[in-house]
Structures are given as structure tokens and as C-alpha cells.
Structure 1
Amino acid sequence: MSGRGKKVDEAPGERPGAKAPGSGRRKSLAKAEEQSRGSADVEAPAEAKKKPEQKKKAEEKKNADNKARRGAQPRDTRPPASSEPLCAFNDQPCTAKSAEGKKVPRSPPKKGNSMDDDPARILQDTLEKLKIRKNQKSEATKCVNDIQDAINKHVKASLGWCKRIQVLKTGSHYENVKICECDEFDVMLAVSVERVDIQPFGEDGAFYSVAMKRHQKHPLDRFLNEDKTIRASEMLKEFRDKVKEAAAKLPYVTVDRKKQGCPAVTLQVKKDDLLISLDFVLGLEVHSSSWPPFTVDGFKIDNWLSKKVKTDLKRKPYYLVSKYEGRGTREQNGVIAKDAWRISFSHVEKEILKNHGHSKTCCETRPCCRKQCLKLLKYLVQRLKEKYPKEAAKLCSYHAKTTLLHACANRVEDSEWAADQLSHCFQLLLHDFEEHLRKQQLPNFFVPSHNLLKSAGIDKKSCNLLADYIEYERNNSFPLFR
């Protein structure tokens, strides 16, 4: 019996030595549970400390991920401005930026162009800015008319040769293409002459000497040389003196100093809120059966305004103003430069811009954008002169007007200048202007042999730079207009 082992207590109803079903498993589970409770009791304080820290780190990671998904801007990795050349247009590096250097938009881009980059909208907004208030225009016009009457009256009374002087109002104000402010006016006071001999002074047909033919006594006889040519410089001196005398009686008017080669006597008007520059120009009104030979290949309006209009306009007198280029002492055929006269067709330009349509009803039934395009081009010239004073110093609004006249003669139909096609028409006009600059060739509309760009002294380098600036403007929705 002893070899079978010790007797153990057994549960009632159980066989001796037999284990209750599942007792081993229950013991294992109980032991595991006890160990688990004990382990939890030991580790609970440490876990309690770790959870807030882990939660905080998780929140930070989540916020960082969300920020990245929303498009947080990366650090600017572009090189310093000094490490690479700058673009002439916007002072930014000319080299392309890498993809990593670009800013990521905070929200998806909207479909279509932004209103800020819509050329048509920009041009319309610019035209609104260029409009002149009606009351300002009215006040300025009245002021100028009063001054003109005073000057004209004094000059006629003081100079015998000015008794029959004619007043010709020219320039952008009277052509209705003035922009921004009513601050500039041009008035020509012209002496009528007949039976004169007009000879070119120079090779481009823009300047002339004027000699009296055999005639009866004329008020200008006192200004004649032995060869009967008129001494323009002496006429201009007397004229200037009398304008200064008349201006001295007007308390709000001063006279600018004379500029070499300038035909105008310039008055500065400061009256109330008005600041006006008023040019009085001495001229000759030439009555002749024809315009000078240099004009034969110019004034090409046959297909635009009609041959009849061209014939009618050429029957009118043309004008010569006392102006010369270069040194006034330069001599040609016995005539010195300061006694030369420059041909002017400002009266014809005024008539053309007033009646500018291929059809007589242009702008009555359907408006065109010819004048709007000219205003925009004049404004661009003004902004270029402000932005690039060195290259654009000698550029002027007359270059813009001449470009438009050539464009109208080439694109004659009114439908090609429809008002709702302003953006397209202006782009074409700018392209024309670019081509003239790149070729350094802008012919006078009336005298094709007269190159306005070279005559103004704009060199080839400046022409190319100006063309580049204009190309940049039209390809980038006109930054100078904004």
C-alpha cells in the first residue's frame, strides 16, 4: 500500500485520485488573472504618466499632417538676388525657379483667368482712369480761350504783320484724345502767304526755306533776305516779345524760357485749381495749288476715307512753323537752319480724327475703338517715359498718333475696329508700334521720307529696348496699367 503513495483528501462524490473536469484550466486562468492584476497594479502609475505625453505627441503629429495637407508654404530656397542676373522688366531673377521653390497655393485655383489678368478688363478700367471730368474740361477750355483772346488781341495791335493773323487750335484736346488731365493746349497763330517759293532744307522733306516771289508790297518784306527768303528767327523773336508783353498783364500766367529749336512760346497757367501749359506757335498759312513733292507718296487714305476726302483735304492750305533741328547756324544754299520752317499737317490730322470712319456713319450706329486705342497707346508712352526715362526720353505722343494713322490706313474697315474688339485691336496696334521700333523706322504719315524716330534722335539700342518693354507689357496683361 505504501508504494501507491500518500492518501489525499478528495471531494465528495469524486473518484479517488480523479481531477474535476476543467479544474486545471480554471486554475491556469485564475493564476493568469491574478498575475495580470498584480502586473497592472505595479505598472499603472507609469502608464498613467505616459498616456498624456503620447496623446500630446499624437495630436502634434496630426496637426502637422493636416497643415502639410492644407498646403503649408515651404522655406524659400531661391538663391539671393545677387547670385543671378535680374530681369529688366520686373527686377526678378531671370533663371527659372525649381519646382521646390514655387509657392504652393492654399486653395485650388479657380477656373478661368483672374480678373486681375484679364486684358480686356484691364484696358476698360484704364480707359475709365483716363477720362477727363467734364467740369474740369469746361473750366480749362474757358481759361485758355480767355488767355488766347488776350494774346491775340495784343499781338494784332502791336505787330503790323500780324493784323491778319489766323488762329488754328490743334493738338489732342481739340482732337478729343486728351488723357488724364486738361493740362496742355496748342494754339497756332499763322500769317497767310501766297505766291511763295518753297524749297527743301535738308533731305527728308520735313523742313523748308520760304521765299517771296515777285509780288506787291507785303507786311513780311522787312524780314526778307536779299534772295527774298524769310528770316523765321527774326519773326519768331518779335512774336515772342509781344506774347510775353501780353502775358505780363495776366496775373496767373508766366512765360517759360526759350528752348533751342522750339517753335512755341510756352505759358504756364496757375489759376485756382488749374495747372495748364499753353503753347503759342508762330506759323505760315501757305496757299498753294499743291502740297510739296515729298508728300506725293504719303497721306494714303484713299481706301480708308476715300479719294474724294483726300482731294478735298489737299486743296486746303498747309502750314509751316518756325522750327529747326540741330545747330541753328548750319547753312544750306545760303539759308541758315534757324530761318527754316517745318511743315505741319496738324489741321488735317484734326479733321481725320474727327471723321475717322470708312463709312460716314462710323460711331453713330456702331462705335469703333480707334480713339480708345490711341488714348491707351499715348498712356503707355507716358508710363514708359516714367518707368524708363533714359530709353524713352525722346519718345512722344506724336509717335503714337502716327502709328495709329498708319494702322487705320492699313486696316480700313470699321468692323476691324469694333468697340467690342478693343483688346484685339490694341494688341495689333502695339505690334505695329513694336515693328516700327525694331526697324527704327516710323515714317511721317504725310512725308514718308521723314523718319520720326531718327529725327527725334532715338538710337537703335533704345528702340530695341522700348520694343522689348512693349512686348513684355502686351504679353503680361499690361503691368504698367495696374
Structure 2
Amino acid sequence: MEGQRERPPASRAKKPAVKRTTTDHNGTVGAPSHAGNCGPQRGARSRRAKRDGDPTEKPRTRARPGQASMPITDQRSSATGAAGVAEQPASPELQPPAHPEAPEVARGPSRRRGARSVGQLGAPRASRKDLKGTPEGKLKNVLKKLKLKRKEISKAADVVNEVVKHLLTSMKNRESEFKEVQPLNTGSYYERVKISAPNEFDVMFKLAVPRTQLQEYGDTGAFYLVAFKRIPRGNPLSHFLEGDILSASKMLSKFREIIKEEVKEIKDRDVCVEEEKPGSPAVTLLIRNPEEISVDIILALESKSSWPISTKEGLPIKNWLGTKMRTSLRREPFYLVPKNAKVGDSFQGKTWRLSFSHTEKYILKNHGIEKTCCEVGGAKCCRKDCLKLMKYLLEQLKKEYQELEAFCSYHVKTAILHMWTKYPQYSQWDPKDLSSCFDNFLTFFVECLKTEKLMHYFIPKFNLFSQELIDQKSKEFLIRKIEYERNNGFPIFDKF
């Protein structure tokens, strides 16, 4: 394995141990290693710098032989080059992904410890006291507090599974247009990037549809009008046709009506359906457990046709996860959710929006260029840690400032996917460089805000930061808040 070296034979002569203080390349005390991690290498200054004690020496990010390193924070990333990396051949051993569907809520990660590879030297542990005052230490402390507790995960998962199972069973047993729906778990909980508490879940109720014909609506490539190439006799969805077009709003309205009826039959749980939000594709349930758990039930049409032409240049993972993986993922079904296109101050009720949340879930779970990245016994990276920190930063800022209402965690997830594409190597996401990696991500995100360009990861011509979606004033406000936090050591992280 790259980065491993044999342990030197123990010296037979007994010499008194010399205590040494280990510092990383930023001059701060090295972070502690964890079971299952490949031990991080100790950073070292040049001998001349060490003798002279030059306080102005800039930190350098080390790269392994043959690998490019992520630029340090004074080398600003460009938002327009998010996917611009040199192409590398895909691994011939790369296997097509299994179908990402999971019928039930997972009950939390396994607690087994990963075994350290034979012959690999571990980095010396620094004391918590030494780490506490460093940027690295503060970020790791935040991540520790954000980590979900296993007992809470299991408790919430059992409740959600119970409610979802009741709804699915009821729909199968009643004569309706949604008799054949199947579950598809998506969202941050199933991607293992949920933070703070297991109180929000997204569950798709997918419905396979016969051969469809899509007509792009607008110029974003994200919204479509759906028609059937051939309508078989007795097709229950014909009730929702307006002319030849399948109305998303009509179908969602009936879906909501059935969900509300079935929720009333749940007697052993305190469950209610929240009021409909304009433009939202979800039917939101509120479960009091006694803590509140929000569950978004999202109707999704499953299409097994080729992905729409607007996605042809999307999913730029060839140089990161490989060409074979990209081809395999694009052979999976795509989904259409009843998210209406906005027209001025109203919504076009017939339109559906493309959804690739199932593919995003797969990528987040299999995010490393090395197959064993973050697996038990494999090397750990800080990719998902940076995502969690940025999600939490935006979440906390939104609690304090109404001006940030237009921003959401999907913007953060899209930005991090572009970052992972731009910097695919493990060495560029080494856990011991968490602070600099997070700062690089902030630099990239701020640059996207300044240029007003954050392109959809699967639909390259769909700009999530366009003026039509988010006004410039809101973007400038978020830029100022992010810069204030990073320049002052993230005081908002102390507000737990």
C-alpha cells in the first residue's frame, strides 16, 4: 500500500527515552490518530528554517510521489474550473455499483474498529490540551459534537421505519394510482453526512412509469413536461393527464390526499401532515417521539430510459472515480419529482424536475479514488468532514439571518462534489490537513458566490446561483458572513 514502510528493527541497546514535541507543518501540535486510520506523517520544516526560527515560513501541503497536492489557502481556487482535471484511465477492476435502494432506515454505522495495516507506522498522539487551541483542534471538536449518537439513531430509525412501512402497506392494499410504489431512501441521513441530530429524513416513494417522452421546459435542462409514448388501457395515471401532458401538481395533490388519509389510521404514534409548501415536491410528516422528527415523503417517477440530453456532459467523475463507474451509474434509472418550475411569482404545475439523489448517495458513500477510502482498515480522508462543517456553518448562519433563506444544504453538497472532482487524490484530503482543506473549500464556495456560478453537478447548464434563483444581495451577504467567521476563528461554532 502506498505510503507504508517497514518498521525498523528494535535496537538492542537500552537508551533512555527522549520526549519530543511533534508539530505539524503549520507549527501546531499534531492531531491524534484513530483506530483504523492510516497514521498521518509528521510534518517537518526544513533544517534551515528550523535553525533560523523563521515565523513567516508558509505551510506546504505534501503530496505523495506522482500525485498533485491541493493548493494551500493563499492559492485561490477558481469556480469555473471545478471539473477541470487531467483524465486518468479507469481501473479495470472497478465493478458496476449495486442498486442504491435500501428498504429500511439504517441503524447507524458499525462500531467495529479498523485494523492498522501491517508494518505501517502510526503518528504519535498529541494531547487534547495541546490540540484545543489550534484551528485543527477546534474543527475536530465541532465534528465530535456533531456526530450522531448511536442510541438516538436507532430510536429515530425504528420510528421512521414503522411509519413508512405502514404507509407502504396501506397503499399496496388499496385501489389507487399509487398501488405499486416502492421506497427509495435518500438525503443526508442515508449519505451519512447528517449532523447534530437524526431528526430529518427523506424517503422517495418511486413509481415505475411506462415509456415516457420528455420535453424540456425552459432552458435550464432541469425541468420537463412528461408525456407517454403509448398509453396502455387501464393506465391509472391517465387520470392526471392534461391533454397529453402528465400534470405534476394534480398527481402530487392526489398523493398528498392519500397520505393524509393513511396517517389518520396510525393510532400508536403522534403523526401529522404539515401544510403544503408552494413549489415543494414533498409531503412532510411530523412525528412526535416525543422529540420531533420530520420525514419528507417525495413522490418520484422512475424512468429506465437513457438519461436526458441535458445531462450528457454532467457527472464529471471520469478522472476521479473512473470512466467505467460513470458509465455504470448512467445506466441506472433516473427520477422525476413534482417540483414545479418557477415562472415569475408562480409555478408551472405541469412540470417535473430531474432528481439524481440516488446517484449522489452512492457517490458520497464511495467517494475515494482508492477503493478502500474510509472503509474499515482503509485510509481515512476528510472529504465528508469538510462537507459536514460547511453544512453546519450554513445551518447556523441561517438560524441568525433571514437574508440567507434562499440557500440550502444542496448548494453545499453540489460545491463539494465539484471540489472532489477537482482534487481527486487522497493526499489532497488527508485528515491531518483538515483545517487547510476546509479553508480551501470555503475559498471555492466564496468564489462561486462572487462569480454567481454554481453549476448543477448532473446538469451543467443549470446554474444554482443564477440571479433568477438567488439575488446578488443575498450572495454578497453570505460572502461577508463567511469571511467574518473564517477571519475570527468561527465564533458561530461555539454556539451549541
TM-score of the alignment, normalized to the shorter chain, above 0.5? yes
2:174 is aligned with 1:122:
no
2:297 maps to a residue whose letter is F
Distance of aligned partners of 1:456 and 1:171 in 2 relative to their CA distance in 1, 3 Å threshold: farther
The correspondence of residues 29-428 of structure 1 with structure 2, limited to 5 A, is: 118-217=134-233, 218-226=235-243, 228-250=244-266, 251-272=269-290, 274-288=291-305, 290-326=306-342, 337-364=348-375, 365-390=378-403, 392-428=404-440
SS of match in other structure, 2:371 = coil
Match of 1:463 among 468, 475, 490: 475
Q: What is the CA distance between 1:388 and its match in structure 2?
A: 2.2
Q: What is the CA distance between 1:327 and its match in structure 2?
A: 5.1
Deviations 1:178-230 (A, max 9, x none): 0001110011111101311011111101110100002433331222233x211
Deviations 1:263-320 (A, max 9, x none): 1111111023x310111111100110x2111111211000010000000000010000
2:452 is aligned with 1:440:
yes
Report the Cα distance in structure 1 between the residues aligned to 2:230 and 2:271, rounded to whole angstroms: 42
Whether contact under 8 Å (2:274, 2:285) holds in the other structure is yes
Deviations 1:234-286 (A, max 9, x none): 211111011001111224001111111111111111023x3101111111001
Report the Cα distance in structure 2 between the residues aligned to 1:155 and 1:240, rounded to whole angstroms: 12
- Structure 1 match to 2:20: none
Report the Cα distance in structure 2 between the residues aligned to 1:187 and 1:398, rounded to whole angstroms: 16
Deviations 1:10-58 (A, max 9, x none): xxxxxxxxxxxxxxxxxxxxxxxxxxxxxxxxxxxxxxxxxxxxxxxxx
TM-score (norm 1): 0.72
May I ask how many residue pairs the two structures share in their alignment? 361
Whether contact under 8 Å (1:129, 1:180) holds in the other structure is yes
Q: What is the CA distance between 1:163 and its match in structure 2?
A: 2.1
Q: Gaps spanning 5+ residues in structure 1: where?
A: 1-112, 331-335
Whether contact under 8 Å (1:256, 1:266) holds in the other structure is yes
SS of match in other structure, 1:445 = coil
Report the Cα distance in structure 1 between the residues aligned to 2:370 and 2:309, rounded to whole angstroms: 29
Q: Gaps spanning 5+ residues in structure 2: where?
A: 1-128
Report the Cα distance in structure 1 between the residues aligned to 2:344 and 2:329, rounded to whole angstroms: 33
Q: What is the CA distance between 1:367 and its match in structure 2?
A: 0.2
2:157 maps to a residue whose letter is T
Distance of aligned partners of 1:466 and 1:310 in 2 relative to their CA distance in 1, 3 Å threshold: same
Q: What is the CA distance between 1:415 and its match in structure 2?
A: 1.5
TM-score (norm 2): 0.70
The structure with the larger Rg is: 1
- Structure 2 match to 1:47: none
Whether contact under 8 Å (2:168, 2:182) holds in the other structure is no
- Structure 1 match to 2:80: none
My pick for the range that moved more, 251-260 or 212-221, is 212-221
Report the Cα distance in structure 1 between the residues aligned to 2:350 and 2:241, rounded to whole angstroms: 11
Q: What is the CA distance between 1:476 and its match in structure 2?
A: 2.2
Which has a greater percent of helix? 1
Q: What is the CA distance between 1:463 and its match in structure 2?
A: 0.7
Percent identical residues = 43
Report the Cα distance in structure 2 between the residues aligned to 1:134 and 1:325, rounded to whole angstroms: 39
Q: What is the CA distance between 1:453 and its match in structure 2?
A: 2.3
Whether contact under 8 Å (1:328, 1:337) holds in the other structure is no
2:407 maps to a residue whose letter is L
Moved over 6 A (4+): 113-116
